[in-house]
Amino acid sequence: MSNTSEGQQPQKKHFWNKNKSAKKELSVDDITIVDKDMLKRAVGAAALGNAMEWFDFGVYSYLAVTIGKVFFPGGSPAAQLLATFGAFAAAFLVRPVGGLVFGPLGDRIGRQKVLAITMIMMSIGTFCIGIIPGYHSIGIMAPVLLLAARLLQGFSTGGEYGGAATFIAEYSTDERRGFMGSWL
């Protein structure tokens, strides 16, 4: 079905090399109809949730020296900082697990419910970090609780990000799906 004359190679069907003169008949299955207000709310909510999660990660890394002094045993400031960044890294290590758990769950019970669950879990982890007493008050339980809260945050972030990307892609129009997904 390519337009070739003698001696010419047929054009490959790449997205950057489309044959503009050939028009394809559109069918009902080729078009996604989107409620613009719903799309704005969906993109706004997903982008806001994602921004809040990354804000939390940023604040944690910015306050790493202070967190190390409060939650980890005294001694070497370098050891406190390394322990703080170890807890920071642990949150990233459990993100794939969150995606593996919440991805199929979103397919079964719906992405909106899963996004709400993951955002609540992220909020709980953040709240717990704010109320955990320091090392001088509860000893070794302070870093243990900090690590547990960071693991909860990472687990929920892993579930939220993939679900939010799919959620936005499902609510977007065909021609603006990439642009809407870029807000994450």
Which fold would CATH assign to domain 34-173? Growth Hormone; Chain: A; (1.20.1250)
CA distance 6 to 140: 80
CA dist 153 → 10, 56, 93, 97, 168 (Å): 52, 9, 11, 12, 22
| Range in 14-18, 49-53, 97-101, 106-110 the model is least confident about | 14-18
pLDDT at 18 over 70: no
d(CA 111, CA 175): 22
State residue 27's pLDDT score: 60
Lowest mean pLDDT among 32-36, 91-95, 154-158, 163-167: 32-36
Measured between its terminal Cα atoms, the distance across the chain in Å is 39
Model pTM score: 0.75
Residue with the bigger pLDDT between 5 and 135: it is: 135
Q: Are 17 and 128 spatial neighbours (Cβ–Cβ below 8 Å)? A: no
* 33 or 2, which is more confident: 33
Q: What is the mean pLDDT of the chain?
A: 83
**Residue 54 φ then ψ, to 5°:** -70, -30
Domain positions in the chain are: 34-173
Cβ 90 vs Cβ 150: under 8 Å: yes
pLDDT at 43 (0 to 100): 81
52 confidence band (pLDDT: 50, 70, 90) = confident
The answer on pLDDT for 166 being more than 60 is: yes
Q: Are 165 and 184 in contact (CB under 8 A)?
A: yes
Q: What average pLDDT does range 61-70 have in this prediction?
A: 93
d(C-alpha 108, C-alpha 178), whole Å: 25
Contact between 84 and 72 (Cβ < 8 Å)? yes
Rounded mean pLDDT, 62-85 = 93
Cα–Cα nearest to 92, from 130, 63, 57: 57
